[in-house]
């Protein structure tokens, strides 16, 4: 009994498709776009500067423009520099 992997549809949303939306849900922003677990998302939301989420009912959403602004602030505040180990010859 063999199953061909091509028979099963693969459902995922491309980042470009997400960024075309005016508003992202909590799961779309943290899970689909940034691929971060909920525990890390909760920590980041409590730190300053935090992304500007808002509530509709009980659900959290963020405007795409606010998400991009927050990501740019985070990139500026914490740039990545590769580690360079100095080894004596």
31-57 pLDDT, tens digit each: 999 999 999 999 999 999 999 999 999
Share of the chain above pLDDT 90, in %: 60
Peptide bond into 11 cis (omega under 30): no
pLDDT grade for 7, boundaries at 50, 70 and 90: low
CB 56 within 8 A of CB 24: no
Would you say 60 and 44 are in contact if contact means Cβ atoms under 8 Å apart? no
- Predicted confidence band of residue 2 (pLDDT cuts 50, 70, 90): low
Indicate the domain borders of the chain.
Answer: 15-76
Closest CA to 55 of 21, 22, 25, 20: 25
| pLDDT reading at 11 higher than 70 | no
């Amino acid at each position: 009994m063999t199953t061909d992997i091509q028979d099963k549809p693969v459902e995922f949303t491309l980042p470009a498709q997400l960024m075309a939306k005016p508003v992202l849900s909590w799961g779309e922003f943290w899970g689909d776009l940034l691929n971060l677990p909920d525990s890390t998302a909760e920590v980041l939301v409590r730190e300053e500067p935090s992304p500007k989420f808002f509530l509709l009912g009980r659900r959290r959403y963020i405007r795409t423009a606010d998400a991009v602004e927050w990501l740019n602030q985070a990139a500026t505040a914490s740039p990545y520099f590769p580690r360079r180990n100095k080894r004596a010859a």
